[in-house]
Amino acid sequence: MNPRRRVAREAARLLYLGLAEEFIKAKEMAAQALGEDVLPSNYEVALELDQIADEEEGIKRRWLLIRLREEALRVMRILEGFNPRLIGSVWRGTARMGSDIDIVVFASEPDEVEKRLLEVGLALDREDLVTLKRGKPINSVHIKSRLESGNEVEVVVRPPDVSNIYERCDIYGDLKRGLSIRELEEVLSRDPLRVFIPKRRRD
């Protein structure tokens, strides 16, 4: 195994075990531990992380992905009026043990989204954030909840005027388009294990 892949593999191991939370930190820790001066791309680390998850979790990982996508669909249907899109590892098809469900919705009043979730009995933890998108500040509200299954869902509420702005993924380099309700329904009916990652990083 060449030095670059060795560092990527070790960084992925650190991420999988929860010994590092960010890709850059995992890569730096791995390079230092292995005495290497090369840092692989986030994409390379992500591929190794996916392989480690497969090795450790086996077929259980496939069932987990399907279950998470089914749960995501139920939450998205509850939030249908807010144009929900499934993003994150459950969209990508790279979910593993401990992965949460990430959903983005668009609303002028985040309180309306919070109210809708409370109506169906979901206990919530809310955080208001300001992030930069294409150089301009974007307000977003992050609402987290734990489902009956024990899996966690995070709903990100963004203003309607940014509904057509897709973020570029810092791991895969593509646009994080995600899945609408209709698209997720189609995936679950035709190919519930479908993976949405480019064959190589898109810059």
pLDDT of residue 165: 63
Q: In which residue are the tokens 């992965």 written?
A: 99
pLDDT per residue of the chain (203 residues) written in tens, 0 to 9: 799 999 999 999 999 999 999 999 999 999 999 999 999 999 999 999 999 999 999 999 999 999 999 999 999 999 999 999 999 999 999 999 999 999 999 998 999 999 999 999 887 888 877 665 656 666 778 999 999 899 999 999 988 876 556 778 889 988 889 999 999 999 999 999 999 998 876 55
Q: What is the dihedral of CA 7, 12, 17, 20, to 10 degrees?
A: 70
Q: What SS3 class is residue 54?
A: helix
pLDDT of residue 133: 60
Domain residues of the chain, as ranges?
3-57, 61-190
- Tally of residues, the chain: 203
The pair of three-digit structure tokens given for residue 52, joined into one six-digit string: 């480690």
Q: Distance between CA atoms of 147 and 71, rounded to whole angstroms?
A: 9
Q: Residue 104, CB half-sphere, CA atoms under 13 Å: how many?
A: 20
Give 125's strand partners.
Answer: 144
Q: Distance between CA atoms of 8 and 169, rounded to whole angstroms?
A: 18
pLDDT of residue 131: 62
**Rounded to whole angstroms, what are the CA distances from 59 to 56, 97, 103, 196?**
10, 12, 25, 19
* CATH architecture of the domain formed by 61-190: 2-Layer Sandwich (3.30)
pLDDT of residue 167: 79
What are the start-end ranges of the E strands in the chain?
Answer: 85-87, 101-106, 125-133, 136-146, 152-158
pLDDT of residue 18: 94
3-state helix, strand, coil in the chain (%, to 5): 45, 20, 35
89, amino acid identity: S
pLDDT of residue 138: 65
The pair of three-digit structure tokens given for residue 30, joined into one six-digit string: 């791995």
The pair of three-digit structure tokens given for residue 23, joined into one six-digit string: 């890709």
Residue 164 neighbours by CB distance under 10 Å: 7
pLDDT of residue 84: 96
Q: Is 50 exposed, middle or buried (0-12, 13-18, 19+ CB in 10 A)?
A: buried
